[in-house]
A and B are shown apart, each in its own frame.
Chain A
Amino acid sequence: MSNGKLSSRTILVVGGGIAGISATVEAAEAGYEVVLVESSPTLGGRVAQLNRYFPKLCQPTCGLEINYQRIKKNRAIKVYTMTSVGKVEGETGNFTVSLNTRPRFVKANCTACGDCAGAAESEIDNPFNYGMDKTKAAYLPHAMAFPLRYVIDPSVIGSPEAEKIKASCTVDAVDLEDKEGSFEIGVGAIIWATGWQPYGAEKITQYGYGEVADVINNVEMERLAAMNGPTAGRIVRPSDGKEAKRVAFIQCAGSRDEKHLPYCSRICCLGSLKHAAYLREQYADAEIDIYYIDIRAHDKLEGFYQKLKNDPQVNFIKSKPGSIVRGESGDPTVKGENTITREIYANSYDLVVLATGMEPSARGEGSSVNLQRDEYGFVVPCVFEPDGMIAAGVASGPLDVSMSVQSATAAALRAIQAIAQGEGK
């Protein structure tokens, strides 16, 4: 599949999270052709997995919905999901990019009726809920998926179950012969919006993630609080389903640490403040302790911090805990030194949430491409000698959604400039 129509005036956007989507629509609405590739089966990225956005606590789905409409309306945009970048050759204004696709086993005429999921028996870890529950091997990634099309997990392919799934589809959208593929396109500039992944909490061994029951990370907390999450929005502890009312948040879990992520991830303080708000909304008698080095409510978001600070049921403890262990009652117990009172504490909770940071996902993936990165793995622009490789969103540094969108708009303009320069050559 080669696309002869695409030219050096085309912009390639890699990654279909909020940053990639924004860069795509901005560039396309300025009159440029855009190819958007996303390695997972759906657009939306990490924000689709958030329950609500700070500071206004609005739904992430609403911002996505508007952008999906803009994509659908614009004929200059081509979206390829389950697609990733193989090789990049050439220079600004004239890149040849090879793209690799994974099979979805479901064609575009899928109506998302869900009959295939009904026919499927096997279950897989649900990636949308970070594996906290299961989903059928024929599944829709989530209700806000774009395209709104089912996926069949490769694990069932070749089994009688796959035939049963195929037979269940009344519009014959299941294609069990679907294969991996690759194709090349020519583009003038590339925007890398590959986003982030949660820092592996198990690497902070003294915090017991994966060892001590009811120690979770902050992306799991988002899913616990979400109506479309594993508990239908009830914030309960994973071990026994008990209501999580006494909850501790451990800030800078892995961030600002030379042994882990040396930088401040910028969003986790606000993330935990937001989680405290979820808890206070759900349980009138919730008691929350936030362990911190210093609270960094960046930009104009200080007000959100002040609001929670005034809540007597939200406690701020200035301390980076030493360890989290299983207490005698089985509850997770946080140990450390309160640096204000100089008291050595051991406090037990229903649930402990590690506020893990954001690590650039581009670190590993797409490493065949020679991108300029800073010491932490974030993609940095080549300022003095623009090379047509531009970063947007968290691929460029730890940003929240509004900053990601701003950086995406800037990236779209940069890409347009790169193309203009290429044409001038």
Chain B
Amino acid sequence: MPRKDLKPIGDLIQATGRGLDCLAGGFTIDPWKPVELSLITHAHADHARPVATRYIASKASVPLLRHRLGQDICIQGVDWGETLLLGDTRVSFHPAGHVLGSAQIRVEREGEVWVFTGDYKPDSDPSCEAFELVPCDTFITEATFALPVYRWPDGGTVVAEIIDWWQQMKRSNRPAVLFAYSLGKAQRVLAELRAYTDELVYLHGAVAPMTQLYRDAGIDMVPTELIDPKAPRQDYAGKLVLAPPGASGSKWMQRFPKASTGFCSGWMRVRGNRRRDGYDRGFVLSDHADWQGLLNTIEATGATRVLTTHGQSATLVRYLREERGIDAAELRTQYTDKSAVTPPTYEQASR
């Protein structure tokens, strides 16, 4: 806890060597080095690391965090919008629309409001809470897809493409193996599919536990079955299989002879990314904001200052400064800093 007589000066939230530190509140957001108290935006491995003594997160995030960081961690779940008094600050969690339980963290001190988005997506998604716009003075935004070529097609259209592809594979008697990150993207696909089918979808071992946690949280998804690696091989012709991208090209894939492969990711918007990894199909389904989504959100928050993390930070900063006249700067963090040509692999980081 900060000492009352020692008033911290400078920015309310600062990127230090260990995370996004809030000295006035005595906590660190999404730390990557050991800290006492951490506030976690969401359960992806670049944001949730087992480095804190105590954790605070949205209630919906708690089971996911326990799964990833350990069942015995000391964690407090808070309701959406509930105000916590931490040090000199008032803190609340607001849905970020990224994955189940993902939060933006609002921090207020003496009328000055900061928001850190973590990762976010303003588009609709049946598998998680809808993004909430939180007005603020300083907005710390992710910039994973901050290039104007990243424009997301409507999610329903993309899922219809997945259904089409699955149907084609049924006709040609081949398995359809769809790669999607095991936390968030895979469950979004399973939830979106619900509008089209009730057919069983098969899951890789990395996807199954997350999916169960989503079911426990009441998310409506198509029925699924775990592929038991020890069970005798069976024929998956015409079946849809969901697996993490790390399984691509692995021995595990040998059980799906003649499979057609697809990858669900915002990176698939660019053909070279898809060709590079040899996926047959790329489905543009992202859990981040696209270029326009970032600009619209930034404008709508009314923020006069914008700080950026992730991906194309430098591009977004230059654009905001030169074209929008906004006071913008990059924050140096350790959140997955993947360039546009390197799709992030949360799975690998968490293993």
Is chain B found bound to chain A in the same assembly?
A: no
